[in-house]
Amino acid sequence: MTGQAQRDEPDARRARSAIPPSTGSQNEQTPKPRRNRVAQPKATDQIQYANLKELFLDPRNPRLRQSADGVYLSQEALNDRMKDWSLEVLARSFLENGFWPHEAVLCAIEEIDGGDGLVVIEGNRRVAALKQLKKTYDGEESAPKWRELIKDVNKPVQLFEKIPYILLSERGEADAFLGFRHVTGIKEWESAENARFIAKLIDENGMNYREVMRKIGSKSPTVEQNYIAHCLLMQMEEVEDIDVEKAQERFFVLSRSMRSENVRRFLGIEEKFGIAPTEVMPLVRAGKIKQLQEYALWFIGSREKRPVLNDSRDLDRLCIALGSDNALEYMRSVSRPHIDRAFVIAGGERDETLELLVDAAHSLEQALSTIHLYKDDQSIVKASIRIISGAELLQKNLEPK
C-alpha cells in the first residue's frame, strides 16, 4: 500500500457491525436463507481485489434518505436511486483510464440480504457506476446515454472482475475518513447528507457533539445545528400536510434557519440547544405541531403552494418576520404572502436603515481623522462631494413637514 493510502487510513475501532434485513415492499430487503458470499478475507490496510458481483451497495449510505422507521432499500432500489448521481461521468472515466488502485473503495463484511457480503462503506458512487456500466454491456440498460457510452468500446472484462478495495474490521473505522472527506473535506456531500452522517455518529455510535466535532473536523455549533435540523426533518415525516420531499431538497434552509432565535421560539425548541443530543427528541412538542406545519409551508412550500421564501438569500428576512405578531398575522391571512411585505411589517426595514446609517456614521468619523492629508486627491474629493450631497438629502428628509 502507498504512503498516501496509509495516511488516509481511518482510525480503527474493532467492533462488529450488522445491517438487519427488512421486510415489506418490493423495494425493501427481504429475508433469504443465510449464506456466506465471501471467503472471509482478513481486515488489512493492503489493497485487495473483488469481482463486481461480490460488492454490495450500502443501504446505510448517508447520501440516501431513509424513512423515520429505519427501513433500508434493496440492492435493486439502490441502483435505481443512484442513477441520478451522474454515474455516466464516472463510467466514462473508467472506460478511458480503468479503476486506479489508489482510489480503492472501503468495505466491511456485514450481513446483508440474507448473508454475509462485502458492503461498500466508501465508494458507493464508483461501484454503482460500474454496475450500471456492466448492465449496459449485458443489454439490461437501454437508456440512449448509456448505449452511446459503450458504442464501439469493447467490454472491459477485467474492469468488472478486479475492483480494488480495502477491508475494514467494521464500518466505524471509516467514520473519520468519511467525515474529513465528505463533511469538511474536498468532496463535500450536500447538507442533508452531512446531517445524516452526523446523526449516524450520534444515534448509532453514541457520540456527543464535541466527539463528532473532533471526529470530522467541524465546529461543535455546526454539528449541533445539523443534528437538530435532521431531527426536524425526521419529525416532519410523521406530520400531515408537510411535503417531506421538498423539505429534503431544501434541507440547507432547515439547517441555516436553526441559527435564528425567532425560529427557535416559533417552533418552541429553544431548550433543545445547549443540551446533550440524547435529550433532543422529540424535538417539536405536540402543542407546536401547527407552527411546524406553518414553518414548512412558508420556508419550504408544498405541492400546491410556493414558499414565502423563494430565494434563500432572503432567509434572514423571513426569520425576522417570524418574530413579529403582525407579520405572522399577515402571512396567515393572505393566500400568497410576500417576503418583502412580511419583512416591512415586522419592522425589519427600519432596522436595516438604522444599521446602514450607523455604519455610514462610523465610516465617516474614521475618514475625517485622515482626510486632511489628501485634500488634492481628486478621487477623495469626488467621494466627499457624494457624501455632502447625501447629507443634504438626509437633512431635507428629516425636516418636519
What pLDDT was estimated at residue 205?
A: 85
- For residue 400, is it within any domain? no
With vertex at residue 12, the alpha carbon angle to CA 226 and CA 71, rounded to the nearest 5 degrees, is 50
C-alpha cell at 75: 440492492
Tell which residue, 263, 326, 321, has the closest CA to residue 296: 263
Q: For 339-374, b where at least 16 C-beta lie within 10 A, e where not — what string?
A: beebbbbbebeeeeeeeeeeeeeeeeeeeeeeeeee
**Residue 102 pLDDT level (bands cut at 50, 70, 90):** confident
Residues 249 and 154 placed together within one structural domain of the fold: no
Q: pLDDT digits over 147-158, tens only?
A: 999 999 999 989
CA distances from 134 to 83, 155, 304 (A): 14, 8, 41
String of DSSP letters for 241-283: T--HHHHHHTHHHHHHHTT-HHHHHHHT-GGGSSS-GGG--S-
What pLDDT was estimated at residue 15?
A: 34
Residues 169 and 199 placed together within one structural domain of the fold: no
- For residue 147, is it within any domain? yes
**Residue 66 pLDDT level (bands cut at 50, 70, 90):** low
What pLDDT was estimated at residue 248?
A: 83
- For residue 179, is it within any domain? no
How many domains is the chain built from?
Answer: 3
Q: Are 47 and 165 in contact (CB under 8 A)?
A: yes
What pLDDT was estimated at residue 132?
A: 92
> With 0-12 CB in 10 A as exposed, 13-18 as middle and 19+ as buried, what is 215?
buried
Cell 443501504 -> residue: 59
What pLDDT was estimated at residue 306?
A: 86
- For residue 213, is it within any domain? yes
Residues 137 and 213 placed together within one structural domain of the fold: no
Residues 150 and 110 placed together within one structural domain of the fold: yes
**Residue 221 pLDDT level (bands cut at 50, 70, 90):** confident
| Dihedral sign, Cα of residue 217, residue 221, residue 225, residue 231 | positive
Residues 37 and 72 placed together within one structural domain of the fold: yes
Cα Rg of the chain, angstroms: 27
**Residue 93 pLDDT level (bands cut at 50, 70, 90):** confident
- For residue 368, is it within any domain? yes
Residues 273 and 367 placed together within one structural domain of the fold: no
Residues 219 and 270 placed together within one structural domain of the fold: yes
Query: Could you give the 3-state DSSP secondary structure of residue 317?
Result: helix
Residues 23 and 168 placed together within one structural domain of the fold: yes
Residues 342 and 222 placed together within one structural domain of the fold: yes
Q: pLDDT digits over 230-257, tens only?
A: 999 999 989 988 888 888 888 888 899 9
**Residue 350 pLDDT level (bands cut at 50, 70, 90):** confident
**Residue 138 pLDDT level (bands cut at 50, 70, 90):** very high
Q: Quick one: average pLDDT of 183-205?
A: 72
For 366, which DSSP code? H
Choose the final residue of a domain: 174, 207, 239. 174
CA distance 48 to 390: 72
CA distances from 258 to 65, 105, 148, 324, 374 (A): 20, 35, 46, 17, 47
Q: Are 342 and 331 in contact (CB under 8 A)?
A: yes
Which residues span the domain enclosing 148? 3-174
Q: Quick one: average pLDDT of 46-61?
A: 91
Residues 166 and 298 placed together within one structural domain of the fold: no
Cell 466491511 -> residue: 108
Better-scored residue on pLDDT, 20 or 401: 401
What pLDDT was estimated at residue 395?
A: 87
| Dihedral sign, Cα of residue 144, residue 149, residue 150, residue 156 | negative
CA distance 359 to 353: 10
**Residue 29 pLDDT level (bands cut at 50, 70, 90):** very low
Task: Please name the helix (run of DSSP H) or strand (run of DSSP E) that holds residue 320, with its range, or none.
Answer: helix 315-321
What pLDDT was estimated at residue 188?
A: 52
CA distance 276 to 274: 7
What pLDDT was estimated at residue 14?
A: 32
Contacts made by residues 311-320, CB under 8 angstroms, sequence distance 24+: 311/339, 312/252, 312/253, 312/256, 314/339, 314/343, 315/253, 315/256, 315/257, 316/260, 317/342, 317/343, 317/348, 318/342, 318/343, 319/257, 319/260, 319/262, 319/263, 320/262, 320/346, 320/348, 320/351
Q: pLDDT digits over 248-296, tens only?
A: 888 888 899 999 999 999 999 999 999 999 999 999 999 999 999 999 9
- For residue 401, is it within any domain? no
Choose the final residue of a domain: 174, 209, 233. 174
Q: pLDDT digits over 300-345, tens only?
A: 888 788 899 988 888 999 999 999 999 999 999 998 999 999 999 9
Residues 336 and 298 placed together within one structural domain of the fold: yes
| Dihedral sign, Cα of residue 359, residue 361, residue 366, residue 368 | positive
Residues 50 and 117 placed together within one structural domain of the fold: yes
What pLDDT was estimated at residue 11?
A: 38
CA distance 389 to 259: 39
